[in-house]
Each structure stands twice: as C-alpha cells, then as structure tokens.
C-alpha cells in the first residue's frame, strides 16, 4: 500500500526554522516527483513546492520562494521541507503528496498532514 507520513510540525516561534519530513513507503520512491501543499485555518489548499524524482529540479510558490527549501533523500525514501524565518501566515497543516507526471500533472496519494503553528 502506498503511504506517506508527515512529521515535524508543532508550535514554533516566529523567525525560527523548522524541518518537516515525509516518510514514503509502498512504491519506488526515486521514480516519482513529490510535493507539499498546505492549508491555513479557514483557507483552501495552497501548493507550496515540488521536486523532481532525482532532486535536481525544484519548484516553489511565489509566496514561499527564498524561505522554503524542498529536498529529498532517495536512499531513505524521505521528503523534506525546510522552512526559514517562520511567519504567522505559515500556520497551516502541511501535506505531502506523490507527484504524477505521466500525461499530466497531479498528486496521488497524500499524507494525513502535520500541523504547524507559528506563535510566540
């Protein structure tokens, strides 16, 4: 069964760093791109970043470019999202998803999410 499990969220102070992880299983991780989306309280889904299967190419939403870094460890089937200079508006549930690129672009499946709260 294909599964993704996010971790690393919690209550963090503004301005601090944070690293989110996404442990993948049930598929050949290094064949697929991966990505992160988030949902702030009361808001819709927002795409954050995606990374190609080898890790050589990455893409970011304008709202996070320069502060967020997506990376992956193919030897350990893990996706990461490094966040610097956390802001209150980064408060959200962060979901990782497997990026499908055959004939189109979509995510399937997704993890259950990890909650990030930025507050002093």
Question: Rule CB under 8 A: which residues touch another protein?
Answer: 35, 37, 39, 44-47, 50, 59-63, 93, 95, 97, 100, 103-113
- As measured in angstroms, the least distance from the Cβ of 22 to another protein is 12
Beta strands per DSSP E along the chain: 3-7, 10-12, 18-25, 33-39, 45-51, 58-60, 68-73, 78-83, 92-100, 106-110, 114-118
CB of 29 to another protein, least distance (A): 18
Q: How far is the CB of 75 from another protein (least distance, A)?
A: 25
Cβ distance to another protein smaller for residue 11 or 15: 11
Q: CB-wise, 16 or 87, nearer to another protein?
A: 87
What lies within 8 Å, CB to CB, of 95 at 6+ separation is 6, 36, 37, 38, 39, 110, 111, 112, 113
Q: Which is nearer to another protein, 10 or 15 (CB)?
A: 10
Residue with tokens 């998803």: 97
């Amino acid at each position: 069964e294909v599964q993704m499990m996010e971790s690393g969220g919690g209550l963090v102070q503004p301005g601090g760093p944070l690293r989110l992880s996404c442990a993948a299983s049930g598929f050949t991780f290094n064949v697929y791109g991966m990505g992160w989306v988030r949902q702030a309280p009361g808001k819709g889904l927002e795409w954050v970043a995606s990374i190609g299967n080898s890790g050589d190419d990455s893409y970011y939403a304008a709202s996070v470019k320069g502060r967020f870094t997506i990376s992956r460890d193919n030897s350990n089937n893990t996706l990461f999202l490094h966040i610097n200079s956390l802001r209150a508006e980064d408060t959200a549930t962060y979901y990782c998803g497997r990026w499908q690129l055959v004939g189109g672009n979509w995510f399937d499946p997704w993890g259950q999410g990890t909650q990030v709260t930025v507050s002093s």
